[in-house]
Structure 1
Amino acid sequence: MSICVRALLHNKRKWKKTLIIFCLLFFVVTLVLSGISIANAEEKKSEELRGTTGSSFVVERNLSTGGWASGSSGSYSTQEFITEEMLQTISAVDGIAGYDVSIVSMPYYFNEAGEPLVNVNGNGVNNYYTYGSINTEYNQLFLSGRFELVEGSHITENIKNGLIISKENAEQNGIKIGDKITGINDPYNDDPEVDMEIVGFFEIVADKEDEATMYDASTLWDYTDYAFCSFNTMKEMAVKYDDGNKIQEAHFYVTDAAQLEDIIKEVQNISSINWDNFIIEANDEVYQNISSSLSDTSTLIITLITVIIIASMVLIILILSMSMRSRKREIGILLAVGITKPSILLQYVIETLMTAVVAFPLAYLFSRRIAGEFGGLFGKAAENIIVTSQYFALVIVAGTVLLIVAVLISCIPVMRYEPKEILAQIE
């Protein structure tokens, strides 16, 4: 009788043991496949995160190394400002996705009828806390997720007179995309009027009660009363103010947060910039916080998979060891009639693998259906968790090796005896 036939007959005769091992393998493989898929989804999310969390570095004037002078408005730093040449040189470094430069002011805005745009906050102050930005897409308020552009487009270097306000303010003032707006930095100081065009609306995503995501530069302005205008437009509005139209700091955003430190080092090696006059600092707090959370989840998943595999191995070895003790007589007889120990071991391996051949594919099909449900326990969207054939192949290889090891370990107590010793113990 061939080894495979003996293995098949034994599994049929000892169907209860076979069913227990089948259920155990089915359960373990299902959990392992689901766990690997969740961990992989976590890794992909981490990779996406590295390019979308707004990890950046800021270059700003180093006032401590500059001189000071006095003017009609008081003392001011004579330290050099950031130039457009500096911006172009730094932004050309590999790994920098883009940059934003902002001049902040509090101008007033008027519609085509000359009526002022009224604030939502109701404090009686109708000017807007405004960023004059080169690329609003890279403004920290948008990249951090506090604001979301919901209509229109971002301001870019190609848009010379654009204005973005909150959708809530736009609705209150009856403003729509394409409307003409006049901006004045200070209408009571004979500042110039600058023509603008509404190019976009934003909505506030940040929780106003969450101090980690909500802040105001002044208690006079709520997020709804923020605005963004083109950089050149802000310079025109602030033309009468010495420091008001010059670049004091610039934010550069990287494509991969993990490369932030290397990129900063490369920027600091730019010889055309006198770094004694400027400070460069990393800003990846958002990435580090979220990345830490993702890492903790991945560690938990890997730990659970490891515990499940170890526990299942112990159980399988115990089940097979108990089965071996009950098969001493069979083993003694097989050895006595000339069947070698390797042949007997091979039979027992085949018995277990026959069960695995059925359990593994069924577990694969089942895990593809329920992996998303498991992912929900870790806050993952079901559509992001996919059990692939590559994972299945990995589990087959690893599972087969572990099963063979389990069979060999369970056979050690019996196989170390000679046939006469085994039969004598039975008698």
Structure 2
Amino acid sequence: MNFITRAVLYTARKWKKTLLLFCLLLAITTLVLSGLAIADVQEEQAEEVRGTTGASFTVSRNTATGGWSSDRGGSFSTQEYLTADKMESIAAINGIEGYNASIRTILCLSDRRGQWLEQMEPTGHAIVDCQFYSYSCINSKYHSLFLSGALVMCEGRTIDSSVKNGIVISKDIADKHDLKVGDTLQAVNTPLSDDKTMDLEIVGLFEVVADKTDERNHYNESSYYEYTNNAFVSEAAMKKLLENYADVGYASADFFVSDPERLESILHEVQKINTINWNNFFITANDEVYQNISSALSDTGTLITTLIVVITAVSMVLMILILSMSVRSRKREAGILLAVGIAKPVVVLQYLLEVLLIAAAAFPLAYLSSKQAAGTLGTLFGKTAEHIIVTSEHFMLVVVVGSVLLVTAVLASCIPAMRLKPKTILSQME
């Protein structure tokens, strides 16, 4: 009788032990496959966060190194502003996907007939109710209010450098005054003055998604204007509207990177630009949201990996203990086989084949059961069940690694008995 036949007959005869090993392998493999599927979803989520979480940096004027002056608008810093050349040299660095800078002011808006527009909740004073908190934009899609999701474009287009005399207003204001994309508004910074009045085309409308939650415990003029009373104006138009004012320019600019993990290296490259006097500007990294989310994802990923390692290690120890006990209980059988001339490697091969036969049944069944278990376990880590998929790649990995570990466990459990000679083995049996 060859070792293959002996292995099959022993596995069938000792069905209780076979069932124990089968259940153990089934449970272990199911858990490991589920863990690998959850880990993959975790990695995909981390990649998605890298692509969608807004990591940026801000270059701002360092007013501490500049002087001070005054005009009709009051005192102001004479520190140099960010120019188009400076911003473009920064934006040219590989890894920066876009940037925006804004000049903020309060514009009074009217329709083409000269009728002042009203805010959503007018006070009854026309010269106050027509005031809208306005931002010039190099690229409004990178404005913090749109990036944060507080506002979302619903019609038309955003403001960028190709728009010369355009404005984006809220859909609520447009509906109130029967305005639409393509209509023209008139804008002026300060009425009853020599400030220029300009015609601006409505190029887009936005909707307010989030309620305004600014705490007004310190002075911030934008906090006194509801989001519906905000407006976004093209860069070229804003400069003309404010040409009577000396203190007009870009005090800061926000630059957005495509990969948050590259933010630090990009900052080093930016600071090497020798056409910018960095004594007059400073850089601030804005990746707190990404770092917090990334840290949480990393901690979860580490926990999942640790659990997989612990499950594998504990399972390996259990298998060795069970197989060692089995080998010790079969000393007489082993001694007889060795005494009749069967080589030790063949005996070990029989033991190995017995375990692999059980694994051959347990692994495919575990693949099927893990498809259900993975979703259930994934919810414990905050994952959506339908997104957790056990793939054939996971199965092949577990089969290969699991088979290697089983072989190792069988060999480790056989070492004590196989070191002895047949006579010694038989003499130890009662």
Q: Contact 2:212–2:226 at 8 Å: present in 1 too?
A: no
Query: Residue by residue, what CA displacement relative to the aligned partner does 1:104-125 show, whole Å, maximum 9, x if unpaired?
Result: 1122333455444433466675
Question: How does 1:369-388 map onto structure 2 within 5 Å?
Answer: 369-388=372-391
1:316 partnered with 2:327: no
The aligned counterpart of 1:285 is 288
- Equivalent of residue 330 in structure 1, options 325, 330, 333: 333
SS in 2 for 1:247: coil
Q: Contact 1:53–1:144 at 8 Å: present in 2 too?
A: no
1:69 partnered with 2:72: no
Q: Contact 1:52–1:143 at 8 Å: present in 2 too?
A: no
**Which stretch of the first structure deviates more once superposed, 85-94 or 406-415?**
406-415
The aligned counterpart of 1:18 is 18
How many Å apart are 1:222 and its aligned residue? Answer: 3.1
Distance 1:122 1:27 in 2: 68
Distance 2:220 2:6 in 1: 78
1:155 partnered with 2:143: no
Query: Residue by residue, what CA displacement relative to the aligned partner does 1:27-78 show, whole Å, maximum 9, x if unpaired?
Result: 2222222222222222222223223222111111111111222333332221
Distance 1:195 1:207 in 2: 30
Describe the shift of the 1:423–1:276 C-alpha distance in structure 2 as closer, same or farther (beyond 3 A): same
Instruction: Please give the root-mean-square deviation of Cα atoms over the aligned residues, in Å.
Output: 2.7
1:39 partnered with 2:12: no
Distance 1:228 1:238 in 2: 15
**Which stretch of the first structure deviates more once superposed, 36-45 or 89-98?**
36-45
- Equivalent of residue 301 in structure 2, options 292, 298, 301: 298
Describe the shift of the 1:332–1:232 C-alpha distance in structure 2 as closer, same or farther (beyond 3 A): same
- Any gaps of 5 or more consecutive residues in structure 1? none
The aligned counterpart of 2:30 is 30
The aligned counterpart of 1:404 is 407
**Which stretch of the first structure deviates more once superposed, 381-390 or 307-316?**
381-390
The aligned counterpart of 1:178 is 182
% of aligned pairs identical? Answer: 54
SS in 1 for 2:187: strand
Amino acid at match of 2:280: N
**Which stretch of the first structure deviates more once superposed, 287-296 or 215-224?**
215-224
How many Å apart are 1:144 and its aligned residue? Answer: 3.5
How many Å apart are 1:11 and its aligned residue? Answer: 1.5
Amino acid at match of 1:160: K
Q: Contact 1:146–1:205 at 8 Å: present in 2 too?
A: yes
Describe the shift of the 1:301–1:167 C-alpha distance in structure 2 as closer, same or farther (beyond 3 A): farther
The aligned counterpart of 1:223 is 227
- Any gaps of 5 or more consecutive residues in structure 2? none
Distance 2:184 2:8 in 1: 84
Distance 1:39 1:378 in 2: 10
SS in 2 for 1:107: strand
Query: Residue by residue, what CA displacement relative to the aligned partner does 1:157-215 show, whole Å, maximum 9, x if unpaired?
Result: 2122333334444445544433333333233445333222333343445576698xxx9
How many Å apart are 1:20 and its aligned residue? Answer: 2.4
Query: Residue by residue, what CA displacement relative to the aligned partner does 1:211-254 show, whole Å, maximum 9, x if unpaired?
Result: 8xxx976441233433322222222322222223x111111111
Q: Contact 1:367–1:387 at 8 Å: present in 2 too?
A: yes
Distance 1:403 1:121 in 2: 74
1:235 partnered with 2:239: yes
How many Å apart are 1:97 and its aligned residue? Answer: 0.6
Distance 1:174 1:5 in 2: 89
Question: How does 1:80-119 map onto structure 2 within 5 Å?
Answer: 80-112=80-112, 114-119=114-119
Amino acid at match of 2:354: E
The aligned counterpart of 1:131 is 135
Q: Contact 1:58–1:283 at 8 Å: present in 2 too?
A: yes
How many Å apart are 1:342 and its aligned residue? Answer: 1.9
Q: Contact 2:50–2:290 at 8 Å: present in 1 too?
A: yes
Describe the shift of the 1:71–1:160 C-alpha distance in structure 2 as closer, same or farther (beyond 3 A): closer
How many Å apart are 1:94 and its aligned residue? Answer: 1.0
Distance 2:332 2:117 in 1: 96
Distance 2:113 2:385 in 1: 52
Give TM-score scaled by structure 2 length: 0.89
**Which stretch of the first structure deviates more once superposed, 156-165 or 170-179?**
170-179
1:276 partnered with 2:279: yes
Amino acid at match of 1:276: N
Describe the shift of the 1:208–1:406 C-alpha distance in structure 2 as closer, same or farther (beyond 3 A): farther
Amino acid at match of 1:100: N
**How many aligned residue pairs are there?**
423
Q: Contact 1:165–1:201 at 8 Å: present in 2 too?
A: yes
Give TM-score scaled by structure 1 length: 0.89
The aligned counterpart of 1:8 is 8
Distance 1:217 1:422 in 2: 92
